[in-house]
Structure 1
Amino acid sequence: MNLPEIPQVTIVVVPRERFSYTQESLTSVYKHTTYPFKLIYVDVNSPAHIRDYLAEQAKQKQFQLIRTEKYLSPNCARNIGLREVTSKYVVFLDNDVVLTPGWLEALVECAETTGATVVSPLTCQGTPVHAEVHCAGGETGVKVEIKGETTRRKIVEKIYLQGKRVEDVQPQLKREETGLAEFHCVLVRTEIFQQIGLLDEKLLSTKEHVDLCMLVTAAGGTIYLEPESIVTYVPGPPLEWTDLHYYMLRWSDRWEFSSLKHLLEKWNLSEDEYFQNRYKRLGSRRHMTIVHPFARKFPVGHFGFRVVSKILRLLDRVLNRWITTW
């Protein structure tokens, strides 16, 4: 591929849920990206040591650093970066993602060859990195069901091959049109935002990718999977105390419930079992990553663990409501 003299790609990095993986992720960008790019880093009130690290790196590497002194949702942060983008393509990248050599060349080559509006890499999850699939494309949309005089509009969301080992599925993967891409890492043709507008900031913590994919499809755009580009997002509990407040806000009951309600109303969806199950699971991410690991520290046996977990979940809900009023 001939490399352009002026970067055709702007990478916009935003926090996903924590700050403690910032250095590993940013190091990966500069280590594995040889295709010309501009970088815009949106720092949403990171703790002092991360703030200082980013300021130093911005000076050394000459990237654009935009900092806010308050926490923002990912889509709000993405829009701050997006407003600064003048290149043909924008890549949205979360701050807990590590990359592989050639990742960006493969995404751009796919977009140039196919005319794709959105291109997703093969996105992996966890450690060891690049070993387990998180998303290899999928489906999004609205399914209309008519029974007698009743019409139901049901959300469609399906992720392909999640949890499969990369080495087991890689031989069958190929570049192809798909219906789903996620914001961990995604390349988007910038001009599409002239049709669909900026990212929806009322989607605070969940289903932002579903909304984007449905908007792109409705506007006549296409979404492709490019498995030659491999990235990994590294989820985890908040590793430092300075992660905790943002993590609790990012996965707060209020943010998630508000996001689901907005998605429901925006796309005129039926409040069916999909939404009812999501309402019941509010706080489940905090429970898995914070409450349950903490409860296991108590030597109380299996029954005691269940009791302690229940008490901690009640405390978590109270604490979470308090935190989200800050």
Structure 2
Amino acid sequence: MLNAAPNDQTLVTIIVSPRERFEQATMSLNAVFDTADLPFRMIYVDGGSPKAISDELKANVESHGHTFIRRPGYVTPNDARNIALPLVDTPYVVFIDNDVVFSEGWLSALVNCAEETGAGLVTPTILVGPASRMPNLKIHHAGGILKFTETEQGRDMYRRHGFEHESYLEKKDELVRKESDSTEFHVVLARREMLEDIGPFDPKLVGFTDEIDMAFKAKEKDWTIWYEPTSVVAYAVGKKLTWREIPYFCLRWNSARCMKAERYFYKKWNLVPEFSRQRGFLRDHRRHAFPFKGLQKVAGWRITVTFTTLLCETIALFTSIRFLKPDMSPAPVSSAVAD
């Protein structure tokens, strides 16, 4: 596919940020270069990855003429995005996580949708599963649904992903371009004018609702959100975590940090607190770090989950010193590029 160097007519800057692990970052970066069908600029923000991985990413990014920003400690996704945004000078920004793979034509489809609809945000079809099976995967997100019911306690929010857990190949013909209530940060296109309108990403949101916060702020400013079915990407899961990425993974999904952020978000938008979805995700997702299938056969599911939680939380406690407080002043951001 076309991987043309950026020029004066380049429409898109791709900002890559860490999500929860590092070992798939090189695969994901190569997938961008292999499939992007429009000229683009890239700002790659790497926070605390193992040196061997960081060196490989830096060499790859810079050999293609793009910008690599290295932070020695871990950074949250919103902090990484805020670090990169001052360097953007294109009409559109595409935010991607560092563990995503892409189908041919994904980038031009997002831009075409924005151009044709005037959207502030465009979300693609997001699948989930092993990269090797792409696109024969389940749908993770095909447009977002948010509904609200006014109560005495505040607004009760109902949230659902379109076609979630459905087979993509079976449902492909039913997917149509339409307005969406929200996006996912696995991959999302944003109009730079909208980003300037809503301001920087909230650094206090370190858990599950950073993309909903962006959607709320966009709609406050009367920007529309669209779902584009012909742009197809996949959040690549399936490979076991390695010991090099378990500390960041456990810290990223630390209960205290994540739930503090959720309580803050719900209060910020006057929403009725309801956290069963978040707690269930934390309980189940952390088992990717420590499956302990043998222990579960002997001790049962409940004991295994409890042990996994305690182990991951302990690792997060001792790892927390590696999280950097973001310095958003222009000078450190620009000087970091040459790390």
Structure-2 change in CA distance of 1:55 and 1:319 (3 Å): closer
Letter in 1 for 2:223: G
Partner SS for 1:297 = helix
Partner SS for 2:245 = helix
Q: Which residue of 2 aligns with 1:26?
A: 29
Q: By how many angstroms is 1:173 displaced?
A: 1.1
> 1:198 & 1:260 partners in 2: Cα distance?
18
Query: Is there any run of 5+ residues in structure 1 with no aligned partner, and where?
Result: none
Q: By how many angstroms is 1:236 displaced?
A: 4.6
Q: By how many angstroms is 1:237 displaced?
A: 6.4
> 1:106 & 1:280 partners in 2: Cα distance?
35
Structure-2 change in CA distance of 1:306 and 1:177 (3 Å): closer
Q: Is the counterpart of residue 318 in structure 1 residue 314 in structure 2?
A: yes
Letter in 1 for 2:146: T
Aligned length: 314
> 2:279 & 2:102 partners in 1: Cα distance?
35
Q: By how many angstroms is 1:282 displaced?
A: 7.2
> 2:37 & 2:286 partners in 1: Cα distance?
40
> 2:207 & 2:24 partners in 1: Cα distance?
19
Q: Is the counterpart of residue 17 in structure 1 residue 12 in structure 2?
A: no
Per-residue CA deviation, residues 113-150 of structure 1 (Å, 9 max, x unaligned), is 111111111111112222221100022364323xxxx3
Q: By how many angstroms is 1:154 displaced?
A: 1.5
> 2:161 & 2:141 partners in 1: Cα distance?
6
The one of 134, 144, 154 aligned to 2:150: 144
Letter in 2 for 1:231: V
> 2:92 & 2:317 partners in 1: Cα distance?
39
> 1:210 & 1:74 partners in 2: Cα distance?
14
Q: Which residue of 2 aligns with 1:47?
A: 50
Structure-2 change in CA distance of 1:12 and 1:308 (3 Å): closer
> 1:217 & 1:35 partners in 2: Cα distance?
28
Query: Is there any run of 5+ residues in structure 2 with no aligned partner, and where?
Result: 1-5, 323-339
Letter in 2 for 1:134: H
Letter in 2 for 1:173: L
Q: Which residue of 1 aligns with 2:134?
A: 129
Per-residue CA deviation, residues 29-53 of structure 1 (Å, 9 max, x unaligned), is 1111121110110011211111110
With normalisation by structure 1, the TM-score equals 0.89
With normalisation by structure 2, the TM-score equals 0.86
Q: By how many angstroms is 1:321 displaced?
A: 3.1
How do 1:109-124 residues align onto structure 2 when only pairs under 5 Å count?
Answer: 109-124=112-127
Query: Percent same amino acid at aligned positions?
Result: 33
Q: By how many angstroms is 1:228 displaced?
A: 0.8
The farther-off stretch of 70-79 and 134-143 is 134-143
Structure-2 change in CA distance of 1:325 and 1:177 (3 Å): same
Structure 1 outlier segments of 4+, above 6 Å: none
Letter in 2 for 1:156: Y
Q: By how many angstroms is 1:287 displaced?
A: 3.7
Q: Is the counterpart of residue 92 in structure 1 residue 95 in structure 2?
A: yes
Structure-2 change in CA distance of 1:307 and 1:110 (3 Å): closer
How large is the Cα RMSD of the aligned pairs? 2.2
Q: Which residue of 2 aligns with 1:189?
A: 191
Q: Which residue of 2 aligns with 1:296?
A: 293
